[in-house]
Structure 1
Amino acid sequence: MRIKEVIVVEGKDDTAKLKQFFDLDTIETNGSAIDQKVLDQIQHAQDKRGVIIFTDPDYPGQRIRHMIDQAVPGCKHAFLAKDEARAKHNKGIGIEHASKTAIEAALAKVYQLAMTEQSLISRDDLIDFGLIGGAQARTRREKLTDRLRIGHANGKQLLKRLQMFRITPEQLKLEMEIIFQEESDE
């Protein structure tokens, strides 16, 4: 399958993994040492074909994603959950360890950050759904962010992330109903 946009990844192992399954082009950041030359390449790719930022689900990956998003607004974002990106035999975490199914799911559900439009989701909604300020809040946030594929978020980041990715109150309610059903089945 051909992917039109250029995929921004952290390194050559990520590129090799993606090229096993897709016909695509990548730009490698070579870790978090992103220089202006790489940012210029990403801007050019964004102008010509569009860009999907697809970094590892860890702190360095989030930092790289943020740096690129600040320098090159309008990029799309794809996310893997941490458990989808874990190596089986070591402590490694990254796209290069993910399965074809997980990568396909992440690239099928990309988000573009909202520039001005804000979600109608409020902090009160997060409290009502037990996503902040409760005993199960962390677990529910992890389940929600994995289901929505918006990357791990702590309590302070969740509202911003839901707004940035234009998650509607209806989407939030539907996902939370599924999470509540899973909890009652346990």
Structure 2
Amino acid sequence: MIKELIVVEGKSDTVAVKRAVEADTIETGGSAVDRKVIAKIALAMERRGVIILTDPDHAGERIRKIVSSKVRGCKHAFIPEKDATRKGDIGVENASPEAIRHALEHVHTSFEGAPALIGLDDLMAAGMLVHPRAAERRMALGNALGIGYCNGKQLFKRLAMFGITREEFEAALAQIDQGGITT
């Protein structure tokens, strides 16, 4: 049984999570996260801890930002878009039990205000910014590090927020450049 409560978007996500692991969930009911849901998540954070597992799309990222800005100390789990897509539909409910377990085994804790260990110049040199294949490379990097896809500015913030070390960053880049991690 996973100790923390897992924040998901809806009932279908809860069903998928429960197929993969023994855990309790809190459903946001979509991207309009109201204050009652935030209060429930805050209480869960105090009592058991919280892991946010939202869809790897714009709405999921919006929910993740809302919840983590209102409830400090949340952990984050990410499923790569390719593992959460079925027949063109993206969502946790489409992920296999293995993909969900993998995401929950590689949870990241947010370190608010953490210093950046990877600079913008490092991202530029790695082809993550202002590069013809920057979006593709950021997706591969997000998959390799288990931090999800994001734009360049968000990638910079996320690397700092999750305390990604230079060694982790360089190892992920090496995997990408050797063709070991794809989008």
Using structure 2 for the length normalisation, give the TM-score: 0.94
* 1:146 and 2:150 are equivalent in the alignment: no
Q: What amino acid does structure 1 have at the position aligned with 2:149?
A: H
Per the TM alignment, residue 19 of structure 1 is displaced from its structure 2 partner at its CA by 0.9
For 1:1-186, list aligned pairs within 5 A.
Answer: 2-87=1-86, 90-182=87-179
Asked if the contact 1:119–1:168 (Cα under 8 Å) also holds between the matched residues in 2, the reply is no
Aligned equivalents of 1:28 and 1:137: distance in 2? 33
Aligned equivalents of 1:134 and 1:35: distance in 2? 39
Q: Which consecutive unaligned segments of at least 5 residues does structure 1 have?
A: none
How many aligned positions are there? Answer: 180
**Which 4+ runs in 1 deviate beyond 4 A?**
none
Aligned equivalents of 1:13 and 1:19: distance in 2? 10
Using structure 1 for the length normalisation, give the TM-score: 0.93
Aligned equivalents of 2:21 and 2:152: distance in 1? 35
Aligned equivalents of 2:81 and 2:117: distance in 1? 28
Q: Which consecutive unaligned segments of at least 5 residues does structure 2 have?
A: none
SS state at 1:118 partner: coil
Backbone CA RMSD of aligned residues: 1.2
Q: What amino acid does structure 1 have at the position aligned with 2:125?
A: D
Q: Rg bigger for which structure?
A: 1
Between the aligned residues of both structures, percent identity stands at 47
